[in-house]
Amino acid sequence: MYLGIIDWALGRDKEFGGKSIWWIKGFAGTGKSAIARSVAEQSSDEGLLLGAFFFGATDPTRNHVGKLVATLSSQISIILPQFRDAVSTIVEDDPLIFDRSIGTQFSTLITRPLSAILSHRSTPSSTTPCLIIIDGVDECSAIEGQHDLLFMLQEATNTTPLIRFLVCSRPESHLKGFFGSPRMIPIVRNVFLGNDYVSREDIRTYIEAKFKQIKEEHVFKHTLPEAWPTPAMIDNLVYRSSGQFIYAVTIVKYMESPRHRPDQRLGALDALYRHIISKAENLPVVLDILSFMICYPWAEVDTMEQLLQLEQGEAEIMLADLNSIVKFLTEDGPPARVGWLHQSLKDFLTDPDRAGDFYRDLLAERLKHVARAITIYSTLVDHGPEKRLPNSLTAPIEYFVHEIRLCNGRGTPHLALQYVSPVVIQALREYGPYGPRWGGERLDCKDDAHIIVYDQKFWFWFMFYLDLMEDVLGKRFWE
């Protein structure tokens, strides 16, 4: 990729050489920042870099646009003496320039001086710095600031066409909208870093090279076994990376540090997950959705929305800010399922020590799902046979039937009590006439009329669950 970026920056790319902005977009962990830093280091060594700014959501000095222009102008001043002289004059004439809008700062301190210096050149040159890198635009805390930044880059391409801007970010919806607008399409090249772009072999090569470096340079290299790391260890790390470069980078950081516990060394990845999830507009509902995805990875979106009491299409809206870590899978229509882009995210969410406030007890969540399924099922009597249930709505009850039967089969029926809770009992009491009858009588599950009204699969599992609950709680419960 580096050679492609250099060819583009120097105008040697016949297909995209005329585009002034290269937008590298990718989900969290696909290696955007690693690529940006690598390009910055190598292009600086070759004398092509003008400046670089790396936004950081957790760094108060880098999570806003306030320091952007000052940082870039300072970097460019070191590289181009003419630029330094021009900026010094501007600041002397207007000492308050850094208090003005970001657009005014950029045009006054970056665009105009560079335009004047490069005005005599008609094409980029390998001897003239021409590349500005801006990484992590989505980590700028204010969306307004992100828009201001992108607008000023657009303006800069009009006055300084020889300057190339490499921009890296997650594919947030508002950024996709901006870069996909008619005014931007002619000047922007889009590259998406998906699982295919950062292949498993690329990740394997990186891990093997870094582990070799650790064996040769680590302070405790003499304590490492000769066979470390084993091929199986490398295979496991490559598999767990799920095609995401950040996982490999994080593991390497973890292995390189001799001073921290393993759980502390995972903090970098955990902090990234926490930041992305915390940006969700309705955090409690989003956590409900993520928990549901862990419990029933095969369930359809409509099942999720019914069991979580969401309106149709609401799940996609709720997860709009999380498209860097989850993806909607479609099949010629509305989203059918939601999938994970990072398998390690499930490990984070199910570990109370790592997830903290984001942790959800999956058993408690499943009990709520069962209660909701019973409520949905019972109320269908008012809607007639045309009201059908999603195929996967039985998933919560099927799970509990399986677990209760395991407890009974192992001779530990007392453990089955955990699969019954007040929220489930309340649902059964409220809709008792359609499930168990008070006094011990039960609706016959072979009643054809009711099988027509209710989904047959759900009816079977529902009655099976009630049978097992009676065994667990005792039949007097219903009396």
Q: Which residue ranges form the domains of the chain, and what is each CATH number?
A: 2-193 (3.40.50.300), 200-265 (no CATH), 274-360 (1.10.10), 363-478 (no CATH)
Report DSSP state, residue 454: S
Paired residues of 26 in beta bridges: 193
Number of neighbours of residue 168 by Cβ within 10 angstroms: 27
Q: Could you state, in chain order, the average pLDDT of each consecutive group of 10 residues for the chain (479 residues)?
A: 79 78 82 83 88 92 92 94 93 91 92 85 66 94 90 89 91 90 91 65 79 81 80 81 68 70 56 83 94 88 89 89 78 71 83 91 89 77 53 75 79 74 74 42 39 47 64 51
pLDDT for 438 equals 31
Report DSSP state, residue 228: P
> Residue 116 has which token pair?
């004047």
CA dist list (Å): 413 to 361, 416, 423 = 22, 5, 21
Cα distance between residue 273 and residue 275, in whole Å: 5
pLDDT for 446 equals 39
pLDDT for 445 equals 38
Cα distance between residue 370 and residue 380, in whole Å: 16
Q: Nearest-CA neighbor of 29 among 198, 247, 236? A: 247
Asked if 177 and 34 touch (Cβ cutoff 8 Å), the reply is no
Alpha-helical (H) ranges within 124-195 are: 143-159, 173-179
pLDDT for 68 equals 94
pLDDT for 346 equals 87
Q: Write 402-407 long-range contacts (CB < 8 A, 24+).
A: 404/465, 404/468, 404/469, 404/472, 405/468
Cα distance between residue 5 and residue 13, in whole Å: 9
Cα distance between residue 138 and residue 410, in whole Å: 52
Paired residues of 330 in beta bridges: 335
Q: Is the dihedral of CA 334, 339, 345, 351 positive or negative?
A: positive
Cα distance between residue 12 and residue 273, in whole Å: 39
Burial zone of 290 (CB within 10 Å; 0-12 exposed, 13-18 middle, 19+ buried): buried
pLDDT for 117 equals 86
Q: Name, in order, each residue with C-beta under 8 angstroms of 333's C-beta and a sequence gap of 6 or more.
A: none
Q: Which residue carries 């937008």 as its tokens?
A: 23
193 alpha carbon, distance to own chain's centre: 13
Cα distance between residue 214 and residue 38, in whole Å: 20
What global pTM score does this model have?
0.55
Cα distance between residue 469 and residue 463, in whole Å: 10
Cα distance between residue 204 and residue 235, in whole Å: 8
Paired residues of 188 in beta bridges: 21
Q: Kindly give the interhelix angle for 283-295 and 267-278, rounded to the nearest 10 degrees.
A: 120
Cα distance between residue 406 and residue 402, in whole Å: 6
* DSSP-based helix, strand, coil % in the chain, nearest 5: 60, 10, 30
